[in-house]
Structure 1
């Protein structure tokens, strides 16, 4: 289990798969999650190409806190890739990880060969009522705040025992990290710059996503010069709700036709 020290954080990561099997895939998880969200995808792709995934600082088995913006998390990802001497890559990001991916693509378009945004958007947008509800939700006890956000991330019918497991895992993320990055996501806004991202991009979303609704993703897709859209019968947690379908969609997008 390799680790890298970056600006006061200890980043835990996995570097798997054969070298020389094509441009490496880099998987970035979302808020309160960890690198194991990508277990299905990594098991599949690492059989034939290099795959990198990490626990973002303060998440999973990575230590450290102090980040206040999505840009700072993007800096951690780039520091890891520089350490591994990976110049060009395919970037796959889920939810907040997709915000990180867009930040990297805007700052270093020459390094991102393709990009996959899973249940992610370019700008958080709320109705007045939902905005008030989100603000009030930060005032409730921490574990209740986490549970409310994670439970609603799954589509109706997903096994309750599995949801409880993800709630418990998310609640293990330090409060400072959870709340600071909650604010960072609400402040994230690159929608007006979406036209600058000329990287071929797959936007794949769950139809039942109420965390980041499909209509917000579609608004972003319209602004991208080169976007492919897929919508699956799932909620916000596509990597675990529909792992095989997500993996197949990524594979079709990143693997050149023979």
Structure 2
């Protein structure tokens, strides 16, 4: 597992697959409190025929460093890794917070984005007054309870409890400062009024049972995209691990199509 020093952090990443493979590299970006292994199924599928890159965001997984205060700053970290690997054009595949990072990249460096895939992600976090008050109150409960509650509700009903407990344990290992700083960065992220500027073909894949970032908010975002394809899957917010094969198939079809 190589690491790259970026602005006081050591970022862990994987760079696999043939350099002269099919198409530009796929760059997988995980979500809040997760790590690069959320993409194990997709990495295994694509690595035999094209270059695939994934990283642990700072403070997550095997990466060190304190949290970034904005999604734009997290995007700078991703670009630093890609510049180090001499990757110019690429296809970002972002889950949740990772999808926010992908949008930030598409807006700041459109010339480098060939296509984009957003998985269970949105351009603006919107709450009713009641839910907003509930979310604010949740940050005042004990840290492990805060993380456990958010991870528990990320999965669709019926997902195995023992597997959810493993994801809760992994997420709880993320430093509190990183968790809360990135949580604030997501809540402050708002590019809904700018997504019309993103001209690159975009695939939006979302779990129908997602209560973290509801599908209605994704559809509101999709209307603003000039060139978007929408796929709704019978899953919750953790689509990469709830329905990995279905996500991989949708991604494969999208990145290999000529349209």
TM (norm. structure 2) is: 0.99
1:232 positional shift: 0.3
Deviations 1:142-186 (A, max 9, x none): 000000000000000000000000000000000000001111101
Higher mean C-alpha deviation, range 248-257 or range 140-149: 248-257
For 1:118 and 1:66, the matched residues in 2 are separated by: 22
Matches within 5 A, 1:1-258: 1-21=1-21, 22-256=23-257
For 1:206 and 1:23, the matched residues in 2 are separated by: 27
Deviations 1:163-211 (A, max 9, x none): 0000000000000000011111011000000100011000000000000
Deviations 1:21-45 (A, max 9, x none): 1200000000000000000000000
Q: Is the 8 A contact 2:236 2:242 kept in 1?
A: yes
What SS does the corresponding residue of 1:191 show, helix, strand or coil? coil
Q: Which runs of 5+ in 2 are unaligned?
A: none
What SS does the corresponding residue of 1:143 show, helix, strand or coil? helix
For 1:66 and 1:231, the matched residues in 2 are separated by: 31
1:257 positional shift: 5.3
| Equivalent residues, number | 258
What SS does the corresponding residue of 1:27 show, helix, strand or coil? strand
1:124 positional shift: 0.3
TM (norm. structure 1) is: 0.99
For 2:47 and 2:258, the matched residues in 1 are separated by: 19
For 1:211 and 1:217, the matched residues in 2 are separated by: 11
1:136 positional shift: 0.2
What SS does the corresponding residue of 1:173 show, helix, strand or coil? coil
Q: Is the 8 A contact 2:67 2:182 kept in 1?
A: no
Distance 1:232 1:66, change over 3 A: closer
1:256 positional shift: 3.2
For 2:189 and 2:217, the matched residues in 1 are separated by: 13
Deviations 1:84-128 (A, max 9, x none): 000000110000000000000000001000000000000000000
1:66 positional shift: 4.1
What SS does the corresponding residue of 1:36 show, helix, strand or coil? helix
Q: Which runs of 5+ in 1 are unaligned?
A: none
Q: Is the 8 A contact 2:46 2:52 kept in 1?
A: yes
For 2:256 and 2:30, the matched residues in 1 are separated by: 21
Deviations 1:194-238 (A, max 9, x none): 100011000000000000000000000000000000000000000
